[in-house]
Amino acid sequence: MCVLVGTCGYSSDRDEGTSVLPFDGISLGCDYNPEQWPRSVWPEDVALMQEAGVGFVTLGVFSWGLLEPRPGEFDFGWFDEVVGLLHEGGIAIDMATATAAPPPWLTHRHPEVLPVDREGRTLWPGSRQSFIPSSPVFREYALRLVEQMAQRYGSHPAVRMWHVSNELGCHIGKDWSDVSAAAFRVWLADRYGDVDALNEAWGTAFWSQHYTSFDEVLPPRITPAVPNPTQELDFARFSSDAWLDHYRAERDVLRRHSPGVPVTTNFMVADHQYEQDYFGWGPEMDVVSQDHYLDHRHAHPHAEQSFAADLTRGTAGGRPWLLMESATSAVNWQPVNITKLPGELLVDSLRQVARGADGIGFFQWRASKAGGEKFHSALVPHAGRDSARFREVVGLGAALAAIGEVAGEPVRADVALLHDWESHWACDLDSHPSGELRALDAAHRWHRALTELGATADVVHPESDLSAYRLVVVPTLYLCSDRVAPALEAFAAAGGTVLVTYFSGIVDGHDHVRLGGYPGAFRDLLGVRAEEFTPLPVGATVTLDDGGTADLWTEVLGVTDAEVVARYADGPLPGTPAVTRRAVSAGSAWYVATRLDHAATTALADRLTRDAGVARLDEPQEGVEVVRRGHFLFVLNRGERPVTVPATGTELLGGGAVTGSVTVAPASAAVVRGGR
Ligand code: GAL
C-alpha cells in the first residue's frame, strides 16, 4: 500500500486558486480551420462542438491567404460568419492573428522575407511559416493584418484571447539570411557596446577571428571547421530574442485595439524544438500556453510529457497555463505515428491538468481531407461523429467539466529542478569531451525518477527563489552565472539538500571555462575538484561499489571537503569517487560525477527525497503518477493493473465518496477533492 509522506508540498490550507485563463473551468478546446470545409459544414461543426463540450477554439491560425486574398484587400465576410456561429453556439474564441503563414502573393512580391538555412539554401513557399522574424518587410505586412484583425474583432464578446502567430520559431528557429545577419549585428552592438568587448567575449584571439568592426560579423554559417562557440551561443540568444520581438510587435498592436483581452502565443517546450528561451518569454505573456505532442521517438514519452508540463509551469512563474495543442491520437510527423489506445486520451490530458494546465486544447477540430496533415488525428476523425474517437472526445469533455473546480489551483512541489535553455544550447555544441552527452538527458532522467517516486518537481530557472523547496536538483548545468553557486550554498546552509550532476558549472555566460578544476562554479559548494574528464566509450559501463551501474561519463575526481558516498569498482578510475556529499550546516550538497542508470538514479532519488522530507509516495507502483494540485489529488494509472492509493474525500470523475483509499483501473485516472 502507498502512503504519502512528508508535508511541505501537500498542505491543504492554501488559498483557493483563481484561473488566469479567460475560459470557464478546465476548458476543452481545439484549433478550428473552417476554411478547409464548405460553409454547409460549419453549423454542424458548432453542434458537434457543443456535444463534445468544446469551450474554446483557436480560430484563423492559417487564414491569412483567405482573409487578405490580395495585398491590402481584406475579405472578412466568411470569417464574420464563422465568428457569429461560434458566438451563438456559446464557444469562446482564442483569435489568432493569422500571420503564421504568409500567402504566396507576399513571398512572390518580396522573396527577401524568405528564410535561409545554415548552408545558404532558401526555404521556399509551398508549406508554412516561410518568413524571417526580423524582416522589416514581413513585419509591415503582418502588423497591417493584425491591425485589421484587432480593429474588427478586438471587442467582440466571443473573442476571449488573442493568439499571436503560431509556435513562433517552429521549423525556422534560426535564420542565416543577410536580413538576419544585419539584425544580429544590431543585437550584438547593443549587447557589447563596442567590438573589443565582443572580441573578448567571443575569444577571437583563437584562430585569428579578431573583428575590427561589427560590420564584419556574420551569423555562424557553414564553416570549414568548428565555428566559434560563443558566436553560436549568441546567435541562439539573438534568434530567440528575434522571435520574441516579433511577438511583442503583434501584441502591442492588439493591446492598442483590444485592451483587456489577454494575449498569448503557443510555446514549444518539447525537447525536439529547443530554440526559444521561454523563461524570458513567460513574463511577456498574459497567459502562458504550450503545445505538446507525445513523442514516441523518446524511450519514455510520458515522462517527457510530464517534464515539459512542469517546465511550462516554470515559464509561467508557477501559475496555471493552457495546453493549446495536443493530439487526440496519432500525429503525422514521426517515423511511425502511434495511435492512442482507449483511455490514453483521458490519462494524457489529466497529466497536463495535474501539472497546472487549466485548459486542454487539440490540433485540430476536424481531420483535414487534403494537405500535409491529413493523417493527423483530430477531435472529429475522417470516420466522422460515429466513431470511438469522437465518443472518447465527448467523454473527455465530460471529465474536464466534472473537474472544473480544479481551475486556478496551484501545483506545489518540494523539489526544484534547475533548467536553463542557454546552458543547454552551449552544452550541446560541438567539440566537447563527449558528443554523446546531451544536457537535457540528465534533466529527463532525474525528473523521471522523481515522478516515479510520486515527488513533484518545479522545473525552474537557476536564479529562481529556492526558499520554498526541500531538494534542488542541478542536472548538467554546464553554463551558469556567478550567482548560482552562492544561492545554492545559502539554500543548503538553511537546511536544504542540493544534488549536482556531472558537467555542471563548467563555463561562464560567455562559454569560457572556469579555471582551477572542475566543476568550476560548484567546486566549493560540493567540496570536490576534478582535474580531467574521462568520458566512456559508447556502450561501456562502470560499476560503483554500492552496486550501482553508470555509463557515459567519469571524472578524475578528488574530495577537498566532502565524504565519498560511492566509488568506482571498475572502469578507467577504480577506487576514485563517483558520488560525494558535503555537509553544509543543516543541509547537504551532493555531487554525482557519472551518469547513473535508472535503477541507481532512482535509488539515490529515493534516499534524498526521504532524507529531505519531500512529499512523495511511500511505495511507488509502476505506471502510476500521483500529483497534488491544491486541494485535489490526481492519480493517473498508465500501468496494466488496478492500483490503490490512500485518499479520503470525493472522487470527481464519478467515483463519489472515497474513504481511506481510491482504486484506479488501468488506463484510467481519479481526481480526489480532499486527497488524503
Ligand atoms: C503544431 C502546429 C499545428 C499542427 C501540429 C501538428 O506544431 O502548431 O499547426 O501542425 O503541430 O502536430
Q: What is the pLDDT of residues 108-117, one digit of tens each?
A: 999 999 999 9
Separation of CA 667 and ligand 1 centre (Å) = 26
Q: pLDDT-derived band of residue 4, with 50, 70 and 90 as boundaries?
A: very low
What pLDDT, on a 0 to 100 scale, did the predictor assign at position 3?
Answer: 31
How far, in Å, are 326, 626, 630, 641 from residue 663 at the CA level?
28, 13, 21, 10
Provide the strand spans (E) within 475-515: 497-501
Burial class of residue 582 in the structure, from the number of CB atoms within 10 Å of its CB (0-12 exposed, 13-18 middle, 19+ buried): buried
At the second CATH level, the architecture of 26-173+243-406 is Alpha-Beta Barrel (3.20)
Beta bridge partners of 567: 577
Ligand 1 and 291: CB distance under 6 A: yes
Mutate to test the pocket of ligand 1, among 31, 127, 167, 365 (most ligand atoms within 8 A of CB): 167
CB neighbours (10 Å) of residue 68? 22
Q: What are the cell numbers at 99?
A: 500571420
Task: Decide if pLDDT at 18 tops 70.
Answer: no
From the list 250, 325, 555, 625, the catalytic residue is: 325
Whether the predicted model's global pTM rises above the 0.85 cut: yes
Instruction: From the options 3.40.50.880, 3.30.1120.10, 3.10.50.40, 3.10.105.10, give the CATH code of 415-614.
Output: 3.40.50.880
Show binding-site residues: 128, 166, 333
Task: Say if residues 165 and 94 touch (Cβ distance below 8 Å).
Answer: no
Domain with CATH 2.60.40.1180 in the chain: 624-674
CB neighbours (10 Å) of residue 575? 10
Ligand 1 and 290: CB distance under 6 A: no
Over residues 288-334, the pLDDT tens digits come to 999 999 999 999 999 999 999 999 999 999 999 999 999 999 999 99
Ligand 1 and 376: CB distance under 6 A: yes
Indicate which residue's Cα is closest to atom 12 of ligand 1.
331
Separation of CA 319 and ligand 1 centre (Å) = 24
Q: pLDDT-derived band of residue 198, with 50, 70 and 90 as boundaries?
A: very high
Ligand 1 and 363: CB distance under 6 A: yes
Q: What average pLDDT does the segment 390-400 reach?
A: 98
Q: What are the cell numbers at 367?
A: 481531420
Active site residue 16: no
Indicate which residue's Cα is closest to atom 11 of ligand 1.
363
What pLDDT, on a 0 to 100 scale, did the predictor assign at position 655?
Answer: 87
Task: Decide if pLDDT at 666 tops 70.
Answer: yes
Over residues 413-427, the pLDDT tens digits come to 999 999 999 999 999
Please report, rounded to a whole number, the percentage of residues in the chain having pLDDT higher than 90.
95
| H or E element that contains 563 | strand 563-567
Task: Decide if pLDDT at 16 tops 60.
Answer: no
Over residues 560-614, the pLDDT tens digits come to 999 999 999 999 999 999 999 999 999 999 999 999 999 999 999 999 999 999 9
Active site residue 250: no
Ligand 1 and 170: CB distance under 6 A: yes
Over residues 612-650, the pLDDT tens digits come to 999 999 989 989 999 999 999 999 999 999 999 999 999
Q: Give me the chain's average pLDDT, please.
A: 95
Task: Say if residues 551 and 460 touch (Cβ distance below 8 Å).
Answer: no
Rounded Cα distance between 579 and 564, Å, is: 6
Separation of CA 363 and ligand 1 centre (Å) = 6
Q: HEC profile for 351-404? A: HHHHCCEEEEEECCCECCCCCCCCCCCCCECCCCCCCHHHHHHHHHHHHHHHCH
Over residues 359-371, the pLDDT tens digits come to 999 999 999 999 9
From the list 167, 304, 409, 625, the catalytic residue is: 167
Ligand 1 and 331: CB distance under 6 A: yes
What pLDDT, on a 0 to 100 scale, did the predictor assign at position 350?
Answer: 98
Ligand 1 and 292: CB distance under 6 A: no
Separation of CA 532 and ligand 1 centre (Å) = 44
Separation of CA 309 and ligand 1 centre (Å) = 17
Q: pLDDT-derived band of residue 676, with 50, 70 and 90 as boundaries?
A: low
Over residues 505-531, the pLDDT tens digits come to 999 999 999 999 999 999 999 999 999
What pLDDT, on a 0 to 100 scale, did the predictor assign at position 20?
Answer: 82
Domain with CATH 3.40.50.880 in the chain: 415-614
Residue 620 or 676, more confident? 620
CA atoms 61, 66, 70, 72: torsion sign: negative
Q: What average pLDDT does the segment 185-207 reach?
A: 98
The class (CATH top level) of 624-674 is mainly beta
Domain with CATH 3.20.20.80 in the chain: 26-173+243-406
